[in-house]
A and B are shown apart, each in its own frame.
Chain A
Amino acid sequence: MPQSEPGLLQGTLDLLILKSLALEEMHGMGIARRISQITNGTFEVKAGSLFPALYRMEHAGHLASSWGESETKRRSKFYRLTKSGRKRLQAESERWERISLAMANALRST
């Protein structure tokens, strides 16, 4: 069941963006597509949420950007992780795993 932004927690969106950029640099459209892929279509990120998040994270220093050419030969802005972005990905992933484990345990208990 695809889910749109209102249900998407901000921390989740940030973490998904960081994760999707872990391997290679990508433009906005690519990031949205990757998020959809890696969550099996659970999250469809819309531009109205995606771009503010990208700009915010770039300003915070987790992302860097440069202009390049897309697969359709169009000038596009590509984002990549910075050092601080990688650290944040690491930290956030661990935190998320702890929380989800705790949540799963809590929900399983009787």
Chain B
Amino acid sequence: MFGKRKFEQELDEELRSYVELQAAEKVRRGMSPEDALREARRELGGMDQVKENVRDVRPGIFVDTLIQDIRYASRALGRDPAFALVAILTLALGIGADTAIFSVVDGVLLKPLPYPDPDRLLTLWEHSQADGLKTTVAPANFYDWRKQSRSFAKMAAIDPYPDFILDGSIGSQRLSGADVSADFFSLLGTRMELGRDFLPEEDRPGSNYVVILTYAAWQRYFGGRADIVGQAVTLNGAAYTVVGVLPRDFSFVSKAADYHARNQFDLFRPMALPAPPPQWMRGTHSLCVLARMKAGVALEQAQAELDLIASNLERLYPSQNKGRGIIAVRLQQHVVADVRSALLTLLAAVALLLLITCANVANLLLTRAAARGREIALRAALGASRTRIARQLMTESLVLAAAGGLLGLILVYAGVPALVRHLPADLPRTPEIAVDGRVLISTSLVALLTGLLFGLAPVFHARGSLRQGGRGVIAGQSRLRSMLIVGQIAMALVLLTGAGLMAKSLWTLLQVPPGFRTERILTARLSLPPQYTNGYKFGTGAHREISAFQQRLLDRVRAIPGVESAAFTAYLPLSGADNSWAFVVEGRPPKPPGEFDKVNYRPVGPGYFETIGIPIKRGRGFNSSDNEDGPLVVAINESMARTFWGSTDPVGQRLSFSEDKWRTIVGIVGDVHHHGLDTKAAPEIYIPYSQAPNVEARPIIVLRTLMEPLSMAAPLRQAVAELDRGVPIDRITTMQKLVSDSAGQPRFRTAVMLTFSLLVLFVASIGLYGVMSYVVSQRTPEFGIRMALGATRGAVMHLVIGHAAKLVGIGIALGLTGAALLSHTIATLLYGVAPIDAVTLASVTTLLALVGIAAVYVPARRAAKSDPMESLRHD
């Protein structure tokens, strides 16, 4: 600053001396001293102009002018606080909303996975050529893939099914675990926080009594004790040793649907597949497979090698592997595949919101620029160059954008954690959503870009007004403003249409009857420890300990006041858990090798259909005599009856699950939407729980209550604890909640879209109001004259509303075109609604038109009230 003052002083002195020397020379030529001085000054051509020219070439001039411009801009904005406040708030909303959604998109879609060289990570799936579906992998196939492939540095399998019951000081706890290949963590590149990774020799049957805990499980169940490594813990009644603890920031990035809706694990155990696995392990498809490609191997090469392996296995094991390919997908791509288009749509919506914000602030600035025309002309006359004025106006816009950006950032810091809490539970990678450096950079860029974008408007305007000498150029300017308004309305219509379609789609989805009762149903999951399941052998259909426990619990629960009925199931609809089995129908010719009839498989207890409200269409449901000692029976749903029996009556027919036992179909029940309201009901077979050929150690109890179902949670817990303290109970929830959560993704995106479009509607209506107010104030003299010449107030009002209607009309027409053009992008996100929906378009258009009329009504009234005399005096 000191250097700058000195510079100014010296420049001033130098120029004065120059003028005096000039004058002295003129005096020498015979001019009078006064004339000479005046003449010398005139020749100089304005001291300020010369100084300004010199300043422009001075070193460091950029920083100085910048500081000066920022000060000037802040002062200018401070003089008009209402304007500054509206502009900054609008920008903060736009930039804040944009950044918040960006932080979600960045965390879920864009950030590389939190592992070294994430591009080399793949997921491998079996792929059925018959139906084109990806399925989980048979252990024996995984074993062969790993052995025969050369493209991969490592290949590991995950079986997310095992659960562990921990006996500890705080009672029995259910921990969710996964069995993994020993090199699972080294494949991901994860190092342990404490202890060590699994050893290869621990990945063998009988040697795998070791576990690695997640950081959260270590803290929660073991109080974060430092000596945990090497400790023995009792899991499912057996002694395990804790060998390692994962770091706090470890997260296993996965898609919830691959892991029975559970992707947060407490602990991991070596999978210990037999080497080589027995052949029956080629028919059970239970594993998720991860692979890391060797450096320099391309996905196509890896896929080509896998194709070769698949055709070898198909030749060697035709009965299980006929028509089975292998498909490799990049892990990142696989995990976000289902949410990509929804998130990108939200990002596009928020970008539109930001553009509308820009247009609005540009409009505000133009209003101001009109009022400041004279100030700008004055500065130009005082020697400010055209670029200097442009720079100054630009600085003002950038100061606004920066303030808006800062405020927006505060909104983001406050809003993103709340947003994350409201994200649908099955959205992958949510732990990676954070307001971090990447988000800050994006906010700054967005603020800068918006500043530049809306800052252009006043600069163009200033150029026009300089050319025309300070008296605003009304015609050209109002054309720019009208264009901005038309653009805003068009974009608002596009957004509103998107939101309207999503809302209608969500509403349609929630109207789908799920196939069961949702009111007053409480459900909870129980985990039976090994003493209930030991001694059990596959196919016996006899697990009397489980049946006895269930019966004792039902007796207690039914006695709770407020409980109407209670029953058990193994796979609750909309819980994410599922199982499917192959079966054969008695008397039908056997299928060729590798082909199966497969249906979803549901062990349920007596009274289940009545309790959860699945209608019995023919025959009967299950009762207490359908037990270990009774004849084997099943019930099927309508869609199974239709698929496998067509118009003939299946009741009385028999079928078998490849265990040489025939089960008689005794009833046909209604279809349910097991996986979601938007997926088609699939064929299902129900088996009495106590006749199930496999063990189902995680029965889910379903209670039909007379009052608010959650009020039954405490008595239920107590009943279980009284019966056996060693049986953990969790996932206590209502059917209503499960249904509502199943629509979590569409609900979330609809909520976001609706919020945005309401914001946009508000912002656009403010913009329209502003423009019309301005037009009215500019045309007041004209209105006055018209009224003096006999125009009625109504006619003047009509004039103003007509003007606005033209803008809104053009905007709506453009918006409708845009919405139609963009309709295909949203099509995949919609359920039961066509992307071009007449009702939605009509209601959105009407809404926008009504808001438009409301926004111009006040200015129109003002115009109609203009006093002819007053108007004529004006200016």
Contacts and interface: CB of A to CB of B under 8 A. Distances in A.
B858 interface: no
Interface stretch (B14-22, B83-91, B760-768): B14-22
B53 A51 contact: yes
A47 B59 CA distance: 19
Contacts of B56: 52
Given A27-B21, A46-B45, A70-B21, A56 B14 contact: no
Q: Which DSSP category, helix, strand, loop or mixed, fits chain B's interface?
A: helix
A86 to B, nearest CB: 22
A77 B14 contact: yes
Nearest to B10: A77
B14 A51 contact: yes
A74 interface: yes
Interface string A42-63: 0000111101100110010000
B14 to A, nearest CB: 5
Interface in B41-99: 43-45, 49-50, 53-54, 56-59
A48 B579 CA distance: 88
Contact of A74 (B15, B21, B44, B45): B21
B13 interface: yes
Contacts of B17: 27-29, 70, 74-77
B15 to A, nearest CB: 7
A72 interface: yes
B24 A46 contact: no
Given A59-B59, A75-B13, A76-B14, A51 B20 contact: no
Task: Give the one of A29, A71, A74, A77 with max B CB within 10 A.
Answer: A29
A72 B37 CA distance: 14
Interface string A71-97: 110111100000000000000000000
Task: Give the one of B11, B20, B54 with max A CB within 10 A.
Answer: B54
A48 B44 CA distance: 7
A30 B43 CA distance: 16
Interface string B357-378: 0000000000000000000000
Interface string B1-40: 0000000001101110110111011000000000000000
Contacts, number: 64
Interface residues of A, number: 21
Nearest to B58: A55
Contact of A51 (B21, B22, B54): B54
A48 B22 contact: no
Contacts of A56: 57
B57 A47 contact: no
Contacts of A48: 44-45, 49-50, 53
Given A28-B14, A47-B15, A47-B50, A59 B57 contact: yes
Given A29-B22, A74-B20, A74-B21, A51 B58 contact: no
Contacts of B14: 27-28, 51, 76-77
A76 B21 contact: yes
Contacts of A30: 21
A2 B86 CA distance: 57
A58 to B, nearest CB: 10
Given A72-B21, A77-B14, A52 B53 contact: yes
B63 to A, nearest CB: 15
B240 to A, nearest CB: 76
Interface string A31-50: 00100000000000011110
B57 A52 contact: yes
A59 B864 CA distance: 63
A43 to B, nearest CB: 15
A51 B50 contact: yes
Contacts of A59: 57-59
Nearest to B60: A59
Nearest to B20: A74
Contacts of B53: 48-49, 51-52
Contacts of A46: 43-45
A64 B59 CA distance: 15
A5 B21 CA distance: 21
A101 B65 CA distance: 44
B54 A72 contact: no
A55 B43 contact: no
A47 B45 contact: yes
Nearest to B21: A29
A52 B21 contact: no
Contacts of A77: 10, 13-14, 17
Given A52-B57, A56-B57, A76-B14, A47 B44 contact: yes
A48 B24 CA distance: 20
A104 B388 CA distance: 41
Contacts of B11: 51
Nearest to A44: B43
Task: Give the one of B25, B45, B53 with max A CB within 10 A.
Answer: B53
Contacts of A52: 53-54, 56-57
Contacts of B45: 46-48
Contacts of B25: 29, 33
Contact of A29 (B10, B18, B50, B59): B18
Contacts of B18: 27-29, 47
Task: Give the one of B15, B21, B24 with max A CB within 10 A.
Answer: B21
A30 B44 CA distance: 15
B28 to A, nearest CB: 10
A49 B22 CA distance: 16
A49 B54 CA distance: 9
Contacts of B20: 72, 74
B54 A55 contact: yes
Contacts of A74: 17, 20-21
A49 B178 CA distance: 80
A78 B15 CA distance: 12
Contacts of B54: 51-52, 55
A51 B15 CA distance: 9
A59 B54 CA distance: 12
A70 B86 CA distance: 58
Task: Give the one of A30, A55, A72, A77 with max B CB within 10 A.
Answer: A55
A52 B22 CA distance: 18
B27 to A, nearest CB: 10
A29 B56 CA distance: 21
A80 B428 CA distance: 72
A60 B44 CA distance: 25
A11 to B, nearest CB: 16
A30 B13 CA distance: 16
Nearest to A53: B57
B708 to A, nearest CB: 81
A1 B9 CA distance: 36
Contacts of B22: 29
Nearest to B17: A76
Contacts of A29: 17-18, 21-22, 25
Task: Give the one of B11, B13, B18, B44 with max A CB within 10 A.
Answer: B18
A74 B49 CA distance: 23
B58 to A, nearest CB: 6
B10 A72 contact: no
Interface string A18-29: 000000000111
A76 to B, nearest CB: 4
Contacts of A51: 11, 14-15, 50, 53-54
A46 B14 CA distance: 14
A74 B15 CA distance: 12
Contacts of A75: 13, 17
Contacts of B50: 47-48, 51
Given A47-B45, A49-B53, A74-B17, 10 more contacts: A27-B21, A29-B21, A29-B25, A33-B25, A47-B43, A48-B44, A48-B53, A55-B57, A76-B17, A77-B13
Question: Which 4 pairs between the two chains have the least Cβ-Cβ distance?
Answer: A29-B21, A56-B57, A76-B17, A52-B53
Interface of A: 27-30, 33, 46-49, 51-52, 55-56, 59, 70-72, 74-77
7 contacts: A28-B14, A29-B25, A47-B45, A48-B44, A48-B49, A49-B53, A70-B21
